[in-house]
Amino acid sequence: MESQNLADFPRPVHHRIPNFKGASRAAEHFPRLQAFKMARTIKVNPDVPQKSARFFVLDSKKTLLVPTPRLRTGLFNRITPPPGATKDILRKCATSQGVRNYSVPVGLDSRVLVDLVMVGSIAVSEKGWRIGKGEGYADLEYAMMVSMGAVSQGTPVVTIVHDCQVIDIPEVLLEDHDLTVDYILTPTRVIATGCERPKPTGITWSKISCEMMARIPILRSLRSREKQAGKDVTLQDEHQHLETCGQHTAPPSTVRRPWDPPQPESGSVQGEDVPSNTVYIGNLPQDTRVSELKRALRERGAAPLRLTWQGPQHRAFLHYQDPASAQQAISCLQGLHLGTNTLRVALARQQRASDLESCTRTITQPSDL
């Protein structure tokens, strides 16, 4: 798409759902579909090439749902244009800025029913096989909607792509959790795939890692619900015998795990022990700001009750409610990067209390985190 100058802003189109010249023409097919005419609530992905599709949903006075970016704060936002909105305002509502300014979150208990789903694609085949960015968010969004009861096997799925994105894709590349599409809209044609391959029947928990659970809070809520319903919710990396990221049967604080750095790396010195609910963060880049660390902690689902900042010493201390919460945070923060540095994360049991008291800045308000 880049070499043939088919791509459109934002460029380059690598590592994203690509925008392309003619995306608005492809979207014009959308309101002509019978599935669109019958739908009352439509979910459309938030990428640029689907902007016109979002406008058509709003202009047709249907309910528009847009997934939250990377599912960090929930699953859906419902776009609510102001009363008497003109077409120009509706077009603004269909942009990423409009999604931020004119939307309200949709909770798990909203009992929403989605009649039509639109997803972005990197490539699709006429048989309905689809390839996304490789991060799995579209597949996961659909699986989460199934878990919520928002969609069923009969809910149509549509994608908008350039004609060059319609290619042959071997079925052997597909897995059970991969989402297929029923309609492909391009600038020149509408393809009804007639795909009979079953769509995902729910969340495949064995494909979900602890890191993903930490990044997507709504997954933890859905997992708790499905566990109570008696479903198998074993995670991908639960063979390590740790239930992390939302539930805990943490090992005793004295047990060393393979990925725990040696105590000297965690800033340990001889002296008075600090409480075992304190976590050491080391190897912070020189110019790191405390706001950057706080944001990273929130994204991993490991925000502490209090944070002790020792930026000049390239370290910080996180204070949690109890040792189990501290161990859970350590598990969720493994492999965390800031800039080019991989942070060292360990229990700060041997850090001298006087070192904590000599910090340059202590943040005590939970709201700051």
Domain limits, the chain: 23-192, 205-240, 263-368
Coil, helix or strand at residue 362: strand
- Residue 322 has what pLDDT? 81
Report how far apart, in Å, the C-alpha atoms of 3 and of each of 12, 13, 85 are: 10, 11, 40
- Residue 70 has what pLDDT? 63
- Residue 361 has what pLDDT? 44
Domain 263-368, CATH homologous superfamily name and number: RRM (RNA recognition motif) domain (3.30.70.330)
Give the phi and the psi of residue 58 in degrees, each rounded to 5: -65, -40
Q: How many CB atoms lie within 10 A of CB 119?
A: 25
- Residue 74 has what pLDDT? 66
In sequence order, the 6+-apart residues with CB closer than 8 A to the CB of 82 are: 89, 102
For domain 23-192, give the CATH number: 3.40.50.10420
**Residue-wise over 154-170: b if at least 16 C-beta within 10 A, else e?**
ebbbbbbbbeebbeebe
| pLDDT tens digits in sequence order for the chain, 369 residues long | 988 999 888 878 887 899 999 999 999 999 999 999 999 999 999 889 999 999 999 999 999 999 876 666 667 889 999 999 999 999 999 998 888 888 888 877 778 899 999 999 999 999 999 998 776 778 888 988 998 889 998 999 999 999 999 999 988 888 878 899 999 999 999 999 999 888 988 888 888 887 778 778 788 888 888 988 888 888 876 654 344 444 443 333 333 333 333 433 333 333 344 567 899 999 999 888 888 898 888 878 888 888 988 888 888 999 988 887 888 888 788 888 888 888 989 888 644 444 444 444 444 444 444
- Residue 239 has what pLDDT? 52
Backbone region of residue 188 per phi and psi (left: phi > 0; alpha: psi in -120 to 50; beta: other values): alpha
- Residue 255 has what pLDDT? 34
- Residue 14 has what pLDDT? 83
Q: Which two tokens stand for residue 349?
A: 């049991």
- Residue 129 has what pLDDT? 94
What are 65's strand-pairing partners? 43, 78
Torsion of CA 190, 119, 49, 24, to 10 degrees: 30
- Residue 329 has what pLDDT? 85
